[in-house]
Amino acid sequence: MSERDESLSAERISEAEHAVMEALWEKSPQTAAEVCDNVCDRRGWSIPTVKTLLSRLVAKGALATEPQGRRFLYTPTIERAAYVGTESRRLVDRLFGGRAAPLFAHLAESEALSAEDIAEIERLLAEMKK
Amino acid sequence: MSERDESLSAERISEAEHAVMEALWEKSPQTAAEVCDNVCDRRGWSIPTVKTLLSRLVAKGALATEPQGRRFLYTPTIERAAYVGTESRRLVDRLFGGRAAPLFAHLAESEALSAEDIAEIERLLAEMKK
DNA sequence: CTCCGACGATTACGTTTGTAAACTGAATGC
DNA sequence: GCATTCAGTTTACAAACGTAATCGTCGGAG
């Protein structure tokens, strides 16, 4: 019960881990220290915490390491778009029965849509029609 | 370290708990056994599991109990719309910097929007303009 | 050549979650 | 009345998470 599947990257990324991923999607590769520079204050973390998260993400196959001298450079192996996609879908499935329209309706109803959002969405819709 | 705040219902609802909430939003009040009838097969749960989840939800203030003879009737204390709202916002904040338009764009791009979704959204947009 | 400091690796530890068995008290059939 | 049954409560326990301290090692400063 130790050899888990290491190739299929379907491992779930937790919220804390996600913060680390964001830093690396923003810019990569980065060392552990650099990642910490980018997230530690915001989250109130210390370096050991970041290192743990990095290790777990490597174990989950979400990050790749490349040795640079005696330290590692970390790079995402999964694309942000893919992650965002699965997470979005999860939510839509769980809360809106897989339909996006109710989500939109909900956002609209709860004032979560700004004027710009609406304009942007109209633009996208127009574009889709072409 | 035992008396947690019992009035403010900001407690986080986990995924398994959410399934129970859905059953009760669908129809309430219900007994534990009834809830189980509605979710146990789908999730492969046994009654004890449902009971645990119900208790935790009561502890979190998400459900209210009303004694009916020797058993309890469970009723949600929070509205589904409120839950859906906070969860949606969480996702939009976390993944799209709080902007709904990028979420929409993403759904559109990834084919997650059906023709009906689009029609429905156009309808909603038209309505909002009025 | 030796010691220090910087890294990753290992270990830690409390909490939450998923999943459920054991316990306890009350209602109910005989 | 007393045993069985059935509800809720308590306890259990492993995995995941959040957060971090400690260990072991390797390379660079003296």
Query: What is the rounded CA–CA span in Å between residue A12 and residue A18?
Result: 10
CA B104 to chain centre: 21
CB A41 within 8 A of CB A90: no
Write out pLDDT tens, residues B36-82.
999 999 999 999 999 999 999 999 999 999 998 889 999 999 999 99
pTM over 0.90: no
CA-based nearest residue to B102, from A93, A85, A26: A85
Give the H/E segment covering residue B66.
strand B63-68
Distance CA(B90)–CA(A103), nearest Å, equals 13
Interchain contact, B107 vs A100, CB within 8 Å:
yes
Domain ranges of chain A: 15-76, 80-129
User: At the topology level of CATH, where does B15-76 sit?
Assistant: Arc Repressor Mutant, subunit A (1.10.10)
Structure-token pair, residue A113: 């849509």
On whether the CB atoms of residues B23 and B35 are closer than 8 A, the answer is yes
Backbone φ, ψ for residue B66 (5° rounding): -135, 120
A45 band by pLDDT with thresholds 50, 70 and 90: very high
ipTM for this prediction: 0.85
Q: Do B112 and A120 touch (CB under 8 A)?
A: no
Which chain A residues contact residue B81 at CB under 8 A?
Answer: 106
Q: Is B79 on the interface with A (CB under 8 A)?
A: no
Chain B nearest C-alpha distance from A128 (Å): 8
Residue nearest to nucleotide C22 (CA to C1'): B48
Contact (CB, 8 A) for A86 and A40: no
Residue B116 has pLDDT above 50, yes or no: yes
